[in-house]
Amino acid sequence: MTSTIPAVTPKPTRPSDLQDERLLNRSGVRGVIAGFIDRVRSGDLGVLPVVIGLVVIWTVMQLLNRGFLSAANLVNLLMESSATGIIALGIVGVLLVAQIDLSVGSVSGLSSAILGILFVTSGVNVWIAVILAMLTGTLIGFVYGQIFNRLGVPSFVITLAGLLSFLGLQLFVLKGQGTINLPFDSPLVWFAQLAFVPAWLSYVFVLLAAGTFFAVGFAKARSRKAAGLSTAPLQLIGIQSVTLAVGLGIVTWYLNVARGIGWMFMLFVALVLVMHYMLTRTKWGRSVYAVGGNVEAARRAGINVRWVYTSVFMACSTLAAVGGILAASRLAAVSQSSGGGDVNLNAIAAAVIGGTSLFGGRGTAFAALLGIIVIMSISSGLTLLNLDSSFRFMVTGLVLLLAVALDSVSRRSRTSHGRA
């Protein structure tokens, strides 16, 4: 690009992205902390509310019942979180494009019913049955996407119709079957109930996580420096990595006091990390945020908006099917009530409580992880207190309302502070 305009002469003392005199000159670890406080004040809360909420809930539950924070209960809590958490992960994607999927519960129930019929009743190979059940979810998402794109029916209505239809289909598929028990020696039940990460391997994972975090941060800092841009201070990356290693190490040690970390929970975490990468580091992820922020702008930027919607619906329904398969495996049974009850609302509430905005364009994959732990903590704590589901629904409902209210208030604050 040739230009007759003289380029601004870069001052060698400051990185090329920090040359504007209006920028507050902040550097080092202290600058990062000051920046964080600024962000929170202006309403860009990130995961802060959910972390505070989790601390409050855990404190209250522990005060009410000494057994709540026991290693055994926490191990169980994580296992219980996995299936619904995976469903919530799909919901995060759909919420990011400012749509909703109300049918994830029915889709998960239908996929578990298909799994049960194929695997147990018809004797199909277990992996083929799993793949077919998952593909059912993918197909449902594809159909949602087509109806949404071509007919322009609001996703709220499409998926509400889906909720009813697929519940009906599930009942039809299971007609006259009652409850199908999955055999205890099948790999599915083993995976969902008995498979735990060996203690030594869990620490290897911790070191791997911290090491990867440091390596990525270091590589980013180096390439930014080479390009003359500002970098995060190296000691900050070091401190963060060490904190991560110590924090995860303590959690892992505590969980290893009991049975340890289930492979099913590891699968959930792995899916969250994959989703996080997809959303933040790929073109597709940018398109998702863009469509959620301003769909017309995304269309004019040449983004295939239809494909973004379809892909998000497909991912959501597929993850719902996976969640259904895991939930059935954990119960070792498929019945007409699989995927019913509170699965739907828990999954949606988890995504929202975790900090995904209902207005679209804001949220991260970690919302599903944090949100489902909040919901399952409430559920587990109230169960330990021998309170029945009536209380669980009321408390979860209030927490959901609180989370959405916080989202709306912080959105207003963000607007007034120009952070949208």
Q: Which is nearer to another protein, 5 or 63 (CB)?
A: 5
Sign of CA dihedral 64, 65, 69, 73: negative
**CB-nearer residue toward another protein: 294 or 389:** 294
68-97 residues in contact with another protein (CB under 8 A) are: none
Looking at 81, 287, 379, 396, which residue binds another protein (CB under 8 A)? Answer: 287
Task: Output the CA torsion sign for 97, 78, 191, 324.
Answer: negative
The least distance separating another protein from the CB of residue 282, rounded to whole angstroms, comes to 6
Taking the alpha carbons of 178, 334, 372, 81 in that order, is the dihedral positive or negative? positive
Q: Is 356 in the site for another protein (CB under 8 A)?
A: no
Asked if residue 242 binds another protein (CB under 8 A), the reply is no
Residues 209-228 that bind another protein (CB under 8 A): 220, 223-224, 227-228
The interface with another protein within residues 395-414 (CB under 8 A) comprises 414
Closest by CA to 87, choosing from 57, 115, 109, 119, is: 109
Binding flag, residue 289, another protein (CB under 8 A):
yes
In the complex, the smallest distance separating the C-beta of residue 285 from another protein, rounded to whole angstroms, is 8
Distance (Å, whole) CA 263 – CA 189: 12
Question: If we measure between CA atoms, which residue out of 178, 179, 166 comes closest to residue 133?
Answer: 166
Which listed residue (30, 41, 412, 419) binds another protein by CB under 8 A?
A: 419
1/63 with CB nearer another protein: 1
Of residues 78, 97, 180, 298, which one binds another protein by CB under 8 A?
298
Exactly one of 5, 37, 63, 151 binds another protein (CB under 8 A); that residue is: 5
Q: Parallel, antiparallel, or unpaired for β 180-181 and 333-334?
A: antiparallel
Applying CB under 8 A, does 303 fall inside the site for another protein? Answer: yes
Q: Which of 144, 64, 107 is nearest to 323 (CA)?
A: 107
Does 41 engage in binding with another protein (CB under 8 A)? no
Structure tokens at 301: 């930027």
Considering only 5-13, 54-62, 142-150, 344-352, which stretch makes contact with another protein by CB under 8 A?
Answer: 5-13
Distance CA 67, CA 167 (A): 37
Which residue intervals of 24-125 are DSSP H helices? 28-41, 48-64, 71-96, 104-115
Of residues 11 and 281, the one with the C-beta less far from another protein: 281
Q: Is 38 in the site for another protein (CB under 8 A)?
A: no
Q: How far is the CB of 252 from another protein (least distance, A)?
A: 29
- CA dist 372 and 376 (Å) reads 6
Close Cβ partners of 199 (under 8 Å, ≥ 6 residues apart) = 256, 260
Residues that bind another protein (CB under 8 A): 1-5, 7-8, 16-18, 20, 22-23, 220, 223-224, 227-229, 281-284, 286-287, 289-290, 292-294, 296-303, 361-362, 414-415, 417-420
